[in-house]
Structure 1
Amino acid sequence: MNPPPAPETPPAPQGDAPPFRMRLDSLGAERTVITVPFRRGPLLWMVVLSWPLTPVAFAAAIYLRVIGIESQLPMIVLGPLPMVAVFSTVLLVLKVGLSYDLRQRQLSGLNGPIKWRFGDRIEYSIYRGRLELIRANGKRRGLTQNSWALDQDSWTEFVNVYLSHQNEWKRADDNAAAPAAPPNRAGSLIEVGIRWRFFTWILVAGLVYAGLNYLFWLDTTENYSPYGPMAIIAVGCFLFGTVPLVLRPVLTYEDGRVSVKTFGRAREFPSKGYERLEYSVYWGCLFEVRADGKRRRVVRGWARDQESWKVFVDRFMEDRSSE
């Protein structure tokens, strides 16, 4: 008995070509490798601005110490610049964030071909707008997430091709779990809360950083400022975790209507000036769209309870396809 195909990518499709159009290469031939490059424009601006400002930050901090002003404000404001400069430079040098070989069905990221273990599989999640590695025990790990740094036309092309192959893979092998089924009763209410455990852990991390910052300040009051980078991290984590837990926005979907309830007050979408709602499988987000095509993000999938979010996305896309 022959061994099953490698689990990391779908097997090659049989029969007709997939129902989408591939972009052609410079010679007019259909490409065999899809590449998702980084956006050079924004990255070049980041390089041009961050590298010259990096020595300015250090010079300002040294100058203030020389004249007797113990202030960490320049380092707090300009301190991230070296990391931004290095990060943007590395992405410019690498050029490509993701590639997909259509003949070998091989995915490659920043570190080369994506590796796996027997029993694993790689799937694109329309609920999170990202490529995921799924372990045999069902645990998921994000591999590549759509972001501002990626070329959106190339990302859209990759997602269309990979989803087509992924669907054929599921039909051929019948080895992947079906997506979350929407409620059977038409018009039933769907409520989607937040990932409260995730935000609780962020809040706890902020409290831990605040406690450590206070202890360091007690031990070294003369040489340690309580308003340094650790305080910034503590405040950021505290706010990032506290705001969703306090507001607890709940998305509701019933009879084709979407609303977000906060503190008992519900806001319906699309809001004034927007004519329809769209779900983007490329971003994993719900958008409201103007008549001229401009979009505004309404809900992000990563911040929502994943089980109920999947139910909502399946029902929303099913309702829209039947209209």
Structure 2
Amino acid sequence: LPTRVRILAPARLRARLAWSLTPLTVPAAPPAPPVPRRTPATARAPEPAAEDTALRTPPPHPEGARPPRIAADRMPTHVAIIMDGNGRWAEQRGLPRSAGHRAGNVAAREMVYGALEIGLRHLTLYAFSTENWQRDTEEIAAVLEATRRELDEGPVRDLDVRQRWSGNPGKLPEELVRSLLREERRTRARTGLTLTVCLNYGGRDEITRTAAALARAARAGDVDPDLIGEDDFARHLPHPDMPDVDLLWRTGDEQRTSNFLPWQATYAELYFTPGHWPDADRRDLWQAITAYGRRRRRHGAAPLVSPRKPAVPTRPE
């Protein structure tokens, strides 16, 4: 693997540079004659073949752990996770950083299993940020290749999981973008967990592109600039149906949100843990959700507290 990465990384980086200078179009499968006019919709990805409707259930935890019972009014709808500490986990064990990212993919599967078992509706994972391009080229190539392999061969493909991604496709390898689009289309009818993987994602970049889309809508006369509200902005986000984040969890002993979902996570409960991401499993997700259920969310409102009765002074005997 190190030899393969060392040989392929420079070529992938050159391809990435060429890709960033070219508008993104993913060629569709050749249509039967007569050839229809190509549209942006057909250029995104070929229509997938019909999938097997027999979906698997998540494998049980190796130690037989079962999810806790969470009251419906204490259950978050959307959990977002910053999967931090892969490289440090590997370095502490004398391994290349790429080994940490492979172990991190196993932990990500565990979170999907745990989310399905506890009944979570939305799970969003921060896999690669717009700032991560500053890292070593071999590490970047390893992260992106591991993500593509997980999409093409990973066990999540056969679960009741609707997969989609969020981020800027501009710098991503074409092969990875094709895999992302294919899985989005193949799983779009699934009704279980919605799993969003953030790749080449930056919160400020998302807000900037959304503002540009809203400006184009205003120029076209679709919205009145003087009457634009939060709902108008939300409708122009890449995933307008994504609910607000209820719980934002970060591993790796860091306590910041790092440009992750700033619009959606405005009122998220923050949860930080010291362990590195590859050491986490579904039990850690259940623990985070349990901790969330003990919090009182007010969204700026005053807490509902019964008025205290004044203390009655006691007469000394």
Which of the pair has more CA radius of gyration?
A: 1
Q: Structure 2-normalised TM-score?
A: 0.24
From the two aligned structures, give the one with the greater strand fraction: 1
Q: Which has the higher contact order (CA 8 A, sep 6+)?
A: 2
TM-score by length of 1: 0.23
